[in-house]
Chain A
Amino acid sequence: MSLQRMPYICARCTVRTYRALRSPRSHLSSPFARQRRHLSQPDQASRPFRVAIVGSGPAGFYAAYRLLAKVDDAVVDMYEKLPVPFGLVRFGVAPDHPEVKNCEEKFTEVAGSPRFNFIGNVELGDSLPLSVLKPHYDAILFAYGAPKDKRLGIQGEDALRSVYSAREFVGWYNGLPEHRDLAPDLTTGENAVIIGQGNVALDVARILLSDVDSLRQTDIADYALAELSRSKIKRVRVVGRRGPLQASFTIKEVRELLQLPSVSFDPIPRDLFPPDDAIAALPRAQKRLMQLLAKGSTNDPTTATKSWSLDFLLFPECLNWSPIFPYRLSHVRFSRNELDPTDPFLPSAKVSPKYLSSGKRAQIDIPANTFFRSVGYKSLPLPGLSDLGVPFDDSRGVIPNDGFGRVTVPLDTEAGSRDRLPDGSLISHLPGLYCTGWVKRGPTGVIATTMTDAFSTADAIAADVARSGHSLLNSAGEGTGLGWEGVRPEAEQRGVRATSWEDWEQIDRAERERGQRRGKIREKFGRVEEMLEVI
């Protein structure tokens, strides 16, 4: 092999370059990196493409992952309200599903890129207005998810005791600081009722029904373990307003509940299922789910210590309190529904109220001492979205977008750049503004869905960069391209204490150490102050 024609490169330099690239974080703070960044600023054409991602859940991280891979000079700043990343992977995924959290490994790998900055403990729209970001970025991607949940709108829902939102309960046992002080009282009686038949409802049911000892080694919060071990709940009813075919839970979660040791399952009345030949003709996923539900659990109800049921075609009317102990919930009154008789087994079948022959609504009282509503998460407009001209669809709870994540505005407004789609229709979108995840398509789907969705948004951003260059959010020559470096002085002025990825790594280590002392994977810090203390 001839080396004569190859350029000479000093070995020491290559080692330094190599080390700098292999340890990306120190690279960022090295004089070498500072110099390079400094040199790159005056020249607009060669400066990096700066993207702000709002939110550090799976949507944000998968979008960052794809973007860094597709746009060579993209530099991503990820803003997060808390000092800790991963959003619902950390605070939503059930503690007994640790394998689902393995995607954190990928996110950690993404965060190791020298082109990625994590800016934690910064609540955009609250402690730092969104408008501060605009001049310093070429694109802003909203991936802040769905921070609230839908309400039932029934009487008694706002009671201070015995009535909980499943989202808050999940946040509570997962160590979400926002719900650290929820303090649910699970000792008021044997019966729990959960309204809603999604996977969150089944997660709550599973946590209530599981043997506490089986949760001890998970990363469930210690205070939650203590409360759950005091729980008197023996019977959980998961109630939906439609039938089995219209329920939104997935088969894995149902199977897990059916397989819980010494927990029995009330068989579902046969007439709620389509006839056998119709089940066999269903699409595969529905067919398997129906077969599983019809089969039920093999656990013997006479020896089981706890039980659960799926109750269909019931609509909650009101909560009723004990006449003797006015703070104690006694039962929930439901109205019966019936499925649209024309095609009751269609997944989209509607329900209507069921009436008795007397003309009265058919009703039923179900005993309940603890009540959870679990009828879906809801996204809200981030304060200050309108300052950027970003609309919000309140009815669907999403930022209007073109399906690829480009934020769209109605055609009759002045803002936005018009584009003609291949089919000839006009569309008006706001250059440089994107959304992904639940705030883009609503609060549904598993991590795989969010990943696909985040990839499609990142691909759209990459396509726009390829087409229009860096000047997306700000017109050419106007943006500073400084990113976080430009935002930081403003943030510091407002007293915002931003945290970095290294800070998170310290928190992570401290949490794992705390956990190890208790024989758990980790023991999360339940309060932001506790997180900040270990940094």
Chain B
Amino acid sequence: MSFWKAVSLNFLRHAVAAERISGSQPARFLSYSSRFSRASRSSRTPMITYRTAKQQIWRQVGTPRSFSATARVQHGHITPPKPGEELNVSFIDKDGEKYDFQVSEGDNLLDIAQANDLEMEGACGGSCACSTCHVIVEDPDMFDKMEEPSDDENDMLDLAFGLTETSRLGCQVVMNKDLDGLVVRLPSMTRNMQASDFQSKK
């Protein structure tokens, strides 16, 4: 009996999770792109892997996989760090709340933020074609340790809200050992050109 209770509670947990996702929380594993992803992602629960596999079968039967000119970027999928090789990264959200994560080398900040449900959008799917994953590096020394942003990244940053001297695009910052202990701040997204005409109504 208790086995079935455990099973049903387990199902319920997923049902609750699904409800939350369908309420459009930024949980990546239900995203459209996940249909293109491998079914063998290690960190997924059996139910979700089952669904991914089912969708793949459906895709194969229903529509052949289409050609895409864009490199479809795998986003929101991070690899769990190997013991002893964890890198520390912290995000400070716009309310000033700090979140610390241990991640592995090679993950980018957009993926890390989205995998952890932080409020960071990646409108272009991490292909350096928008400025929605703008982050601000807290420590200028750390900023200097990073590789120079490319022209393409700088072009996008030029359009970002609240651009600073140490701004980067989250999708272009890939974690490595030099960046262990990186702290980035998510800029406030509330800039609104006309809102300045009126005081906050709250």
**B interface residues, tally (CB under 8 Å):** 66
Q: In the complex, identify which listed stretch (A30-38, A360-368, A444-452, A491-499) lies at the interface while the others stay far away.
A: A444-452
Point out the residues of chain B lying under 8 angstroms from A441, CB to CB: 193-194
Across the A-B interface, the 7 shortest Cβ-Cβ residue pairs: A102-B125, A403-B194, A285-B158, A99-B127, A14-B11, A105-B32, A99-B129
A250 to B202, CA, bound (A): 34
Q: Is B108 interfacial (CB 8 A cutoff)?
A: no
Interchain CA distance A282-B33 in the complex, whole Å: 40
List, in ascending order, chain A residues with CB within 8 A of B132's CB: 447-448, 451
Cα A114 to Cα B19 in complex, Å, equals 9
Identify whether the interface residues of A are mostly helix, strand, loop, or mixed: helix
Residues on B with C-beta less than 8 A from A285 are 158-159, 163
Known: A250-B158, A421-B199. 11 other contacts (CB 8 A): A3-B6, A18-B15, A68-B24, A103-B124, A109-B31, A109-B32, A252-B156, A423-B198, A427-B198, A512-B63, A512-B66
Taking each of B15, B24, B130, which has the highest tally of chain A beta carbons within 10 Å of its own beta carbon? Answer: B24
A22's nearest neighbour on chain B, judged by CB, is B18
B148-167 contacts to A, CB under 8 A, are: 151-152, 154-156, 158-161, 163
The residue that A452 contacts in the complex, of B68, B129, B191, with Cβ under 8 A, is B191
| Stretch of A121-129, A477-485, A519-527 that contacts chain B | A519-527
**Cβ A102 vs Cβ B70 within 8 A:** yes
Stretch at the interface among A4-12, A49-57, A150-158, A312-320: A4-12
The answer for the CA separation of A521 and B66 in the assembled complex, in Å, is: 6
**What 0/1 pattern do residues 280 to 319 of A give for CB contact below 8 A with B?**
0000110011000000000000000000000000000000
> Which has the most chain A C-beta neighbours within 10 Å: B32, B151, B199?
B32
A251 at the interface (CB under 8 A from B): yes
- Picked from B11, B24, B200, the residue with its CB within 8 Å of the CB of A109 is B24
A100 touching B158, Cβ below 8 Å? no
B24 to chain A: which residues have CB within 8 Å? 64-65, 68-69, 109-110, 113
Residues of B with C-beta under 8 A to A102: 70, 73, 123-125, 127, 129
CA–CA, A520 and B191, complex, Å = 39
Per the bound structure, the CA–CA distance linking A229 and B47 in Å amounts to: 50
**A-side interface residues toward B, CB under 8 Å?**
3, 6, 8-11, 14-15, 17-18, 21-22, 24, 64-65, 68-69, 72, 97-100, 102-106, 108-110, 112-115, 217-218, 250-252, 255, 284-285, 288-289, 401-404, 419, 421-423, 427, 441, 446-449, 451-453, 455-456, 460, 463, 509, 512-513, 515-516, 519-522
Q: How far is the CA of A11 from the CA of B8 in the complex (A)?
A: 5
Is the beta-carbon distance between B11 and A18 smaller than 8 angstroms? Answer: yes
CB pair B8–A452 under 8 Å, yes or no, is no
CB under 8 Å from chain A, chain B span 1-18: 2, 4-9, 11-12, 14-15, 18
Min CB–CB distance B132 → chain A (angstroms): 5
With A18-B18, A106-B123, A463-B201 as given contacts, are A448 and B131 in contact (CB-CB < 8 Å)?
yes
> Would B22 and A421 count as touching, CB distance under 8 A?
no
The answer to whether B18 touches A447, judged by C-beta atoms less than 8 angstroms apart, is no
- Among residues of B, the one whose C-beta sits closest to the C-beta of A511 is B66
CA of A512 to CA of B105, assembled, Å: 36
Chain A contacts for B5, CB-based, 8 A: 3, 6, 8-9
Q: List 29 A-B contacts (CB under 8 A).
A: A3-B2, A18-B47, A98-B69, A100-B124, A102-B123, A102-B124, A102-B129, A103-B125, A105-B125, A106-B31, A109-B31, A115-B23, A250-B158, A250-B159, A251-B155, A252-B155, A285-B158, A401-B194, A419-B201, A421-B198, A422-B200, A423-B199, A441-B193, A447-B132, A448-B123, A456-B190, A463-B202, A521-B69, A522-B66
- Considering only CB atoms, which chain A residue lies closest to B51 in the complex? A22
* Complex Cα–Cα for A6 and B202 (A): 41
B193 contact set on A, CB distance < 8 A: 403, 441
Please state if B68 and A98 are interface contacts (CB–CB under 8 Å): yes
Contact mask B41-70 → A, CB, 8 Å, 1/0? 000000100010000000000111011111
Measured between C-beta atoms, what is the minimum distance from B129 to chain A in Å? 4
Q: Are B199 and A284 in contact (CB under 8 A)?
A: no
Q: State whether A6 and B31 are in contact (beta carbons under 8 Å apart), knowing that A102-B124, A447-B130 are contacts in the complex.
A: no
Q: Which residues of A contact B159 (CB under 8 A)?
A: 250, 285, 446, 448-449
B119 to chain A, nearest CB (A): 10
Chain A residues near B192 (CB, 8 Å)?
Answer: 403-404, 452-453, 456
Cross-chain contact of B121 among A64, A72, A97, A451 (Cβ < 8 A)? A451
A284 to B166, CA, bound (A): 12
Q: Closest CB of chain A to B30's CB: distance in Å?
A: 6
Structural contact, A100 and B130, CB atoms closer than 8 A: yes
